[in-house]
Chain A
Amino acid sequence: QVQLVESGGGLVKPGGSLRLSCSASAFALSDSYVTWVRQAPGKGLEWISYISPSGSTIFSADSMKGRITISRDNAKNSVYLQVDSLRAEDTAVYFCSTEICTSGSCYLDPWGQGTLVTVSS
Protein backbone atom coordinates (compact mmCIF):
# COMPACT_ATOMS: atom_id res chain seq x y z
CA GLN A 1 0.00 0.00 0.00
CA VAL A 2 1.35 3.40 -1.01
CA GLN A 3 2.10 5.31 2.15
CA LEU A 4 3.90 8.44 3.30
CA VAL A 5 5.14 8.81 6.84
CA GLU A 6 6.24 12.05 8.47
CA SER A 7 8.46 12.23 11.52
CA GLY A 8 10.54 14.71 13.46
CA GLY A 9 7.84 16.78 15.08
CA GLY A 10 7.76 17.63 18.73
CA LEU A 11 7.93 20.38 21.30
CA VAL A 12 10.44 23.13 20.55
CA LYS A 13 11.15 26.49 22.16
CA PRO A 14 10.60 29.74 20.27
CA GLY A 15 13.62 30.50 18.14
CA GLY A 16 14.50 26.84 17.82
CA SER A 17 14.69 24.62 14.76
CA LEU A 18 13.28 21.31 13.62
CA ARG A 19 13.97 19.00 10.73
CA LEU A 20 10.95 17.08 9.56
CA SER A 21 11.23 13.94 7.47
CA CYS A 22 8.88 12.39 4.95
CA SER A 23 9.52 8.83 3.89
CA ALA A 24 7.66 6.56 1.53
CA SER A 25 6.79 2.90 1.50
CA ALA A 26 5.67 0.82 -1.45
CA PHE A 27 6.75 3.40 -4.00
CA ALA A 28 9.75 5.39 -5.12
CA LEU A 29 9.46 8.88 -3.68
CA SER A 30 12.39 9.81 -5.91
CA ASP A 31 10.04 9.95 -8.91
CA SER A 32 7.66 12.41 -7.25
CA TYR A 33 7.19 16.10 -6.76
CA VAL A 34 6.70 16.44 -3.01
CA THR A 35 4.98 19.20 -1.08
CA TRP A 36 4.63 20.15 2.55
CA VAL A 37 1.34 21.51 3.85
CA ARG A 38 0.63 22.54 7.42
CA GLN A 39 -2.51 22.94 9.49
CA ALA A 40 -2.61 24.98 12.67
CA PRO A 41 -4.95 23.68 15.39
CA GLY A 42 -8.56 24.21 14.32
CA LYS A 43 -7.48 26.02 11.15
CA GLY A 44 -7.35 25.30 7.44
CA LEU A 45 -4.64 23.97 5.15
CA GLU A 46 -1.60 26.10 4.27
CA TRP A 47 0.83 25.10 1.52
CA ILE A 48 4.46 25.57 2.54
CA SER A 49 6.93 24.22 0.03
CA TYR A 50 7.52 22.09 -3.06
CA ILE A 51 10.50 20.15 -4.45
CA SER A 52 10.98 18.47 -7.81
CA PRO A 53 12.17 14.85 -8.14
CA SER A 54 15.76 15.86 -8.77
CA GLY A 55 15.68 18.61 -6.16
CA SER A 56 16.63 21.18 -8.78
CA THR A 57 13.34 23.06 -8.52
CA ILE A 58 12.21 24.36 -5.16
CA PHE A 59 9.49 26.81 -4.36
CA SER A 60 8.24 28.02 -1.00
CA ALA A 61 5.43 30.15 0.32
CA ASP A 62 6.36 33.80 0.79
CA SER A 63 5.13 33.59 4.39
CA MET A 64 7.92 31.21 5.27
CA LYS A 65 10.74 32.10 2.89
CA GLY A 66 14.03 32.54 4.66
CA ARG A 67 13.03 30.22 7.50
CA ILE A 68 12.50 26.94 5.69
CA THR A 69 14.69 24.65 3.64
CA ILE A 70 13.27 21.76 1.69
CA SER A 71 15.61 19.03 0.50
CA ARG A 72 15.61 15.39 -0.46
CA ASP A 73 17.77 12.28 -0.38
CA ASN A 74 16.51 10.00 -3.10
CA ALA A 75 18.84 7.23 -1.99
CA LYS A 76 16.94 7.20 1.30
CA ASN A 77 13.56 7.69 -0.38
CA SER A 78 13.01 10.73 1.81
CA VAL A 79 12.23 14.44 1.71
CA TYR A 80 13.05 16.87 4.50
CA LEU A 81 11.76 20.20 5.74
CA GLN A 82 14.00 22.28 7.97
CA VAL A 83 12.17 25.03 9.82
CA ASP A 84 14.24 27.65 11.64
CA SER A 85 13.47 30.55 13.96
CA LEU A 86 10.29 28.82 15.07
CA ARG A 87 7.47 30.96 16.41
CA ALA A 88 4.32 30.11 18.33
CA GLU A 89 2.31 30.59 15.13
CA ASP A 90 4.27 27.75 13.52
CA THR A 91 2.50 25.32 15.84
CA ALA A 92 0.71 22.97 13.46
CA VAL A 93 0.47 19.50 12.03
CA TYR A 94 2.85 19.27 9.10
CA PHE A 95 1.84 16.97 6.24
CA CYS A 96 3.85 15.80 3.28
CA SER A 97 2.21 14.73 0.06
CA THR A 98 3.07 13.86 -3.49
CA GLU A 99 1.84 15.89 -6.41
CA ILE A 100 -0.01 14.41 -9.35
CA CYS A 101 -0.77 16.51 -12.42
CA THR A 102 -3.27 15.64 -15.10
CA SER A 103 -3.88 17.63 -18.26
CA GLY A 104 -6.09 19.72 -15.99
CA SER A 105 -5.41 19.95 -12.27
CA CYS A 106 -2.46 19.30 -10.07
CA TYR A 107 -3.45 17.73 -6.79
CA LEU A 108 -1.95 16.09 -3.73
CA ASP A 109 -2.27 12.36 -3.20
CA PRO A 110 -1.45 10.48 -1.06
CA TRP A 111 -0.87 12.37 2.17
CA GLY A 112 1.04 11.27 5.20
CA GLN A 113 -0.64 11.19 8.59
CA GLY A 114 1.18 14.34 9.66
CA THR A 115 3.61 15.23 12.40
CA LEU A 116 2.75 17.74 15.13
CA VAL A 117 5.10 20.63 15.80
CA THR A 118 4.43 22.58 18.99
CA VAL A 119 6.35 25.79 19.60
CA SER A 120 6.19 26.83 23.23
CA SER A 121 8.47 27.90 26.01
Chain B
Amino acid sequence: EIVLTQSPATLSLSPGDRATLSCRASESISPYLVWYQQKPGQAPRLVIYDASKRASGIPARVSGSGSGADFTLTISSLEPEDSAIYYCQHRGSWPPEYTFGQGTKLEI
Protein backbone atom coordinates (compact mmCIF):
# COMPACT_ATOMS: atom_id res chain seq x y z
CA GLU B 1 0.00 0.00 0.00
CA ILE B 2 1.33 3.39 -1.03
CA VAL B 3 1.61 5.97 1.76
CA LEU B 4 1.78 9.67 0.92
CA THR B 5 3.43 12.01 3.40
CA GLN B 6 2.96 15.75 3.01
CA SER B 7 5.08 18.46 4.54
CA PRO B 8 4.90 20.85 6.16
CA ALA B 9 1.63 20.41 8.00
CA THR B 10 1.07 24.16 8.01
CA LEU B 11 2.70 26.89 5.97
CA SER B 12 2.19 30.55 6.84
CA LEU B 13 3.30 33.06 4.24
CA SER B 14 2.59 36.57 3.08
CA PRO B 15 0.96 37.81 -0.11
CA GLY B 16 3.46 37.81 -2.94
CA ASP B 17 5.58 35.02 -1.42
CA ARG B 18 6.22 31.63 -2.97
CA ALA B 19 4.83 28.46 -1.39
CA THR B 20 6.53 25.10 -1.75
CA LEU B 21 4.50 22.08 -0.66
CA SER B 22 5.98 18.60 -0.59
CA CYS B 23 4.45 15.16 -1.08
CA ARG B 24 6.59 12.06 -0.62
CA ALA B 25 5.43 8.58 -1.55
CA SER B 26 6.54 5.39 0.20
CA GLU B 27 7.71 4.07 -3.18
CA SER B 28 8.08 5.33 -6.72
CA ILE B 29 4.76 6.35 -8.28
CA SER B 30 5.85 8.70 -11.01
CA PRO B 31 4.03 10.36 -12.71
CA TYR B 32 0.79 9.29 -11.05
CA LEU B 33 0.45 12.15 -8.61
CA VAL B 34 -2.44 14.57 -8.28
CA TRP B 35 -2.99 17.72 -6.18
CA TYR B 36 -6.28 19.13 -4.88
CA GLN B 37 -7.16 22.38 -3.16
CA GLN B 38 -9.86 22.44 -0.50
CA LYS B 39 -11.30 25.56 1.10
CA PRO B 40 -13.43 25.45 4.27
CA GLY B 41 -16.90 24.09 3.66
CA GLN B 42 -16.13 23.19 0.07
CA ALA B 43 -15.37 20.06 -1.87
CA PRO B 44 -11.83 19.46 -3.08
CA ARG B 45 -10.92 21.06 -6.38
CA LEU B 46 -8.50 19.51 -8.85
CA VAL B 47 -5.33 21.57 -9.22
CA ILE B 48 -2.63 19.39 -10.80
CA TYR B 49 -2.69 15.94 -12.43
CA ASP B 50 0.04 13.78 -13.93
CA ALA B 51 2.37 15.48 -11.44
CA SER B 52 2.75 18.65 -13.49
CA LYS B 53 -0.31 19.36 -15.64
CA ARG B 54 -2.57 22.19 -14.52
CA ALA B 55 -6.29 21.56 -14.40
CA SER B 56 -8.70 23.82 -16.23
CA GLY B 57 -8.91 27.27 -14.70
CA ILE B 58 -5.76 26.95 -12.59
CA PRO B 59 -3.46 29.97 -13.05
CA ALA B 60 0.05 29.63 -14.43
CA ARG B 61 1.59 30.71 -11.11
CA VAL B 62 0.63 27.26 -9.83
CA SER B 63 2.96 24.45 -10.88
CA GLY B 64 3.67 20.85 -10.04
CA SER B 65 6.92 19.00 -10.37
CA GLY B 66 8.68 15.88 -9.27
CA SER B 67 9.28 12.30 -10.19
CA GLY B 68 9.82 8.95 -8.59
CA ALA B 69 8.60 9.34 -5.04
CA ASP B 70 9.12 13.08 -4.43
CA PHE B 71 6.73 15.72 -5.68
CA THR B 72 6.28 19.44 -5.16
CA LEU B 73 3.44 21.88 -5.59
CA THR B 74 4.68 25.44 -6.03
CA ILE B 75 2.46 28.49 -5.86
CA SER B 76 4.16 31.79 -6.65
CA SER B 77 2.95 35.34 -6.10
CA LEU B 78 0.65 34.16 -3.34
CA GLU B 79 -2.76 35.75 -3.02
CA PRO B 80 -5.14 35.56 -0.06
CA GLU B 81 -7.45 33.34 -2.13
CA ASP B 82 -4.74 30.66 -2.17
CA SER B 83 -5.41 29.99 1.52
CA ALA B 84 -6.62 26.40 1.66
CA ILE B 85 -5.62 22.86 2.49
CA TYR B 86 -3.78 21.10 -0.31
CA TYR B 87 -3.89 17.32 -0.65
CA CYS B 88 -1.82 15.06 -2.84
CA GLN B 89 -3.35 11.85 -4.19
CA HIS B 90 -2.30 8.67 -5.91
CA ARG B 91 -4.48 5.95 -7.40
CA GLY B 92 -3.09 2.47 -7.78
CA SER B 93 -3.53 0.60 -11.04
CA TRP B 94 -5.05 -2.42 -9.33
CA PRO B 95 -6.74 -2.47 -6.99
CA PRO B 96 -8.13 0.95 -7.95
CA GLU B 97 -7.58 2.34 -4.48
CA TYR B 98 -7.11 6.05 -3.89
CA THR B 99 -4.57 7.24 -1.35
CA PHE B 100 -4.45 10.81 -0.06
CA GLY B 101 -1.76 12.64 1.82
CA GLN B 102 -2.74 14.14 5.15
CA GLY B 103 -2.79 17.65 3.71
CA THR B 104 -0.83 20.89 4.02
CA LYS B 105 -2.66 23.93 5.32
CA LEU B 106 -1.51 27.06 3.51
CA GLU B 107 -2.22 30.30 5.33
CA ILE B 108 -1.71 33.63 3.60
Using a CB–CB cutoff of 8 Å, the interface residues on chain A facing chain B are 33, 35, 37, 44-47, 50, 59, 61, 95, 99, 102, 104-109, 111-114
- Say yes or no: B32 contacts A47, CB within 8 Å: no
Within the complex, the shortest CB–CB distance from A116 to chain B, in Å, comes to: 11
Count residues of B near A (Cβ-Cβ below 8 Å).
Answer: 28
Within the complex, the shortest CB–CB distance from B99 to chain A, in Å, comes to: 7
B51 is contacted by which of A105, A106, A109 (Cβ under 8 Å)?
A105
Distance, CA A38 to CA B102, complexed state (A):
13
List chain A residues, Cβ under 8 A from B101. 44
The yes or no answer to B44 lying at the interface (CB within 8 A) is yes
- Say yes or no: B97 contacts A47, CB within 8 Å: yes
- Say yes or no: B32 contacts A104, CB within 8 Å: yes
Question: Mind listing 20 A-B residue pairs with CB under 8 Å?
Answer: A45-B44, A45-B87, A45-B89, A47-B98, A47-B100, A50-B98, A61-B97, A95-B44, A102-B50, A104-B51, A105-B49, A105-B90, A106-B91, A107-B34, A107-B89, A108-B44, A109-B55, A111-B45, A112-B43, A113-B43
